[in-house]
A = this chain, B = another copy of it.
């Protein structure tokens, strides 16, 4: 395998970097058409439609949606049935994620002006949220924790999880994670039909206010289509890591950190920036040496060959500039004084500081969320958080005195815009 090697002094570096990062999710029209039909049918026929699609796609033979609901008792049993080390690890992770997210809670605020006018914002939680959890090979219990816990911390009253169970197989780790996170109801549903059931509601599945969680192309297309009827989280692209290293970290560590991203899937992207050319050579050697021992070596090889790169920079300042252009999902600062350096980072989903802080710790149990903006969207968006399950209402209470001054201003501007009813309603409150 051969990994791309760039230097920022290459004459064509800028265009090479741009090409390396280029990634456009081809919006597949055929998928979109299928999804549109399923959604329309679920909206119209409710339970009956959802049941038919589920039995067909997941090869089940349920006779009602109620049969596909998993009881709280089964969730608890799944948790109690785990090996002790897994159960304890899951609990530790959940506790740490909860503690961190509790710091994100937003509060209502207001202030009163001299004339008695009150202004502010009232913060409330969403009432009901749907959590999509993929089935099969990409069924990650950590993903249940990361999506469910912020919602519950925000105060969401009812959290409804859907997870496809092809051939009726239920993933015990996923159910255990649901138990730990306080998920209120779980249905064995997946695909566009599950998203439709959550967005529109059916006789059995209650309508939610927002749908979050990862899924395949059908799920992503369905989420895009129901956006507006319900809220959605971001549609995620392939996972990415950018490591900036001063050259003094064990090259095996850095290689393995790059693998931990590359092993996700063939489209994942792992990039290393360092001012030290020898160090880049050493990491390259570590990669070649270590990849053979990895169970997911084929995926790692494809990912690193197609989308990986080792890039020599002039200095760490230049690395920060490049990072701000890339706006990576995960950023590791494997160097001395990483905290000071982090102040120069404007755009990144999560910043992992210091040689000890491998990204995997953040994926599972450090506390911060592992749902992060991908594909350069960290330029304008944030990790999933409690704030995604709270929202604000403006508060405006104008005093009789305030209505005199504000009324004149509003009327002047309203007349300027040709909106006379606006002007008149303000003028009615003026004491002549």
Residues of chain A touching chain B, judged by Cβ–Cβ distance below 8 Å, are 25, 85-86, 89-90, 92-93, 100, 103-104, 109, 111, 117-119, 121-122, 124, 126-127, 137, 140-142, 173, 209-210, 228, 230-231, 235, 250, 252-253, 256-257, 259-260, 262-264, 294-296, 300, 338-339, 342, 345-354, 356-369, 372, 375, 377-383, 385, 387, 391-400, 402-403, 406-414, 416-426, 428-429
Contacts and interface: CB of A to CB of B under 8 A. Distances in A.
Contacts of A100: 119
Nearest to A82: B416
B421 A262 contact: yes
Contacts of A411: 360
**Most chain B beta-carbon neighbours within 10 Å: one of A235, A354, A356, A366:** A356
**Most chain B beta-carbon neighbours within 10 Å: one of A256, A380, A411, A418:** A380
A133 to B, nearest CB: 13
A237 to B, nearest CB: 8
Contact of A379 (B127, B252, B402): B127
A406 B349 contact: no
Contact of A380 (B89, B209, B252, B421): B209
A394 B349 contact: yes
A363 B410 contact: yes
Contacts of A367: 119, 396
List of 8 A-B pairs having minimum Cβ-Cβ separation, nearest first: A231-B380, A259-B421, A350-B394, A353-B397, A368-B394, A89-B412, A360-B422, A382-B392
Contacts of A364: 409-410, 413-414, 422
A119 B104 CA distance: 12
Contact of A409 (B92, B263, B398): B92
Nearest to A237: B228
Contacts of A228: 25, 235, 375, 377
Copies of this chain, count: 2
Contacts of A348: 393
Nearest to A358: B425
Contact of A428 (B252, B419, B422): B252
25 contacts: A85-B412, A104-B121, A119-B368, A140-B417, A142-B413, A209-B379, A228-B235, A253-B425, A253-B429, A256-B425, A259-B424, A263-B421, A296-B420, A347-B393, A349-B394, A350-B394, A351-B395, A353-B396, A360-B410, A365-B409, A366-B396, A381-B391, A382-B392, A383-B393, A387-B387
Given A140-B417, A141-B416, A173-B416, A357 B127 contact: no
Contacts of A25: 228
A361 B295 CA distance: 64
A419 B263 contact: yes
Contacts of A353: 118, 395-397
B93 A103 contact: no
A267 B351 CA distance: 47
Contacts of A408: 89
Contact of A429 (B231, B347, B356): B356
Contact of A361 (B118, B345, B354, B410): B410
